[in-house]
């Protein structure tokens, strides 16, 4: 997604609206994470590749079955040695959506399930509200992921907010 014409927030919301009926059928809490969540929280980015959904395994299975005809077969996520999930990438209309069921991150020599500890809710339309991590939580997640692109996003959060201070790792 590029920010031509319609603003990036509106483009992300429109992408989510396309799948809103499907998301409304999920049984467990889910979150929009990654670059889309960053933009929805007010940090501007020039482009967004996709909408990342963090779900339970059960809901990932449901979406993967529901969207099976939209699955991108030849795609594998970068840094597969650092992440494990019930993963699928889909093209729905013109939007790319990644599903990550029970995402695990290899950190401190062990696999850790990514848990969202703090979030905010955003209304997409009258039928759907989504959860995104707070900016402080997004900072924590991007630094946990530790890839160069994630650390750049964590740095953007620090540059554009006054209330988040980097932790000392504790």
Task: List, for residues 43-77, the tens digit of each pLDDT value.
Answer: 988 888 899 999 999 999 999 999 999 999 877 77
Instruction: Give per-residue burial for 102-133: e unless 16+ CB within 10 Å, then b.
Output: bbebeeeeeeeebebeebeebebeeebebbbb
3-state helix, strand, coil in the chain (%, to 5): 35, 30, 35
pTM, whole model, 2 decimals? 0.89
| Residue 134 zone, left/alpha/beta (φ > 0; ψ -120 to 50; rest) | beta
Of the candidate ranges 92-101, 107-116, 121-130, the one whose mean pLDDT is the lowest: 121-130
Asked whether the predicted pLDDT for residue 161 surpasses 90, the reply is no
pLDDT of the residue at 5:
38
CA atoms within 13 A on the CB side of 127: 10
The counts of H helices and E strands in the chain are 6, 7
């Amino acid at each position: 997604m590029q920010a031509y014409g319609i603003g990036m927030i509106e483009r992300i919301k429109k992408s989510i609206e396309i799948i809103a009926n499907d998301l409304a059928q999920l049984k467990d809490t889910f979150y929009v994470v990654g670059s889309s969540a960053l933009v929805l929280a007010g940090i501007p980015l020039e482009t967004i590749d996709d909408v990342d959904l963090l779900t339970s395994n059960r809901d990932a299975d449901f979406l993967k079955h529901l969207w099976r005809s939209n699955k991108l077969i030849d795609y594998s996520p970068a840094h597969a040695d650092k992440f494990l999930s019930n993963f699928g990438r889909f093209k729905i209309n013109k939007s790319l959506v990644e599903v990550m069921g029970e995402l695990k991150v290899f950190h401190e020599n062990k696999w850790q399930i990514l848990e969202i500890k703090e979030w905010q809710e955003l209304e997409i339309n009258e039928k759907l509200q989504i959860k995104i991590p707070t900016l402080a939580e997004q900072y924590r997640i991007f630094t946990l992921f530790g890839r160069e692109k994630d650390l750049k996003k964590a740095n953007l959060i620090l540059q554009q907010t006054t209330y988040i201070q980097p932790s000392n790792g504790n």
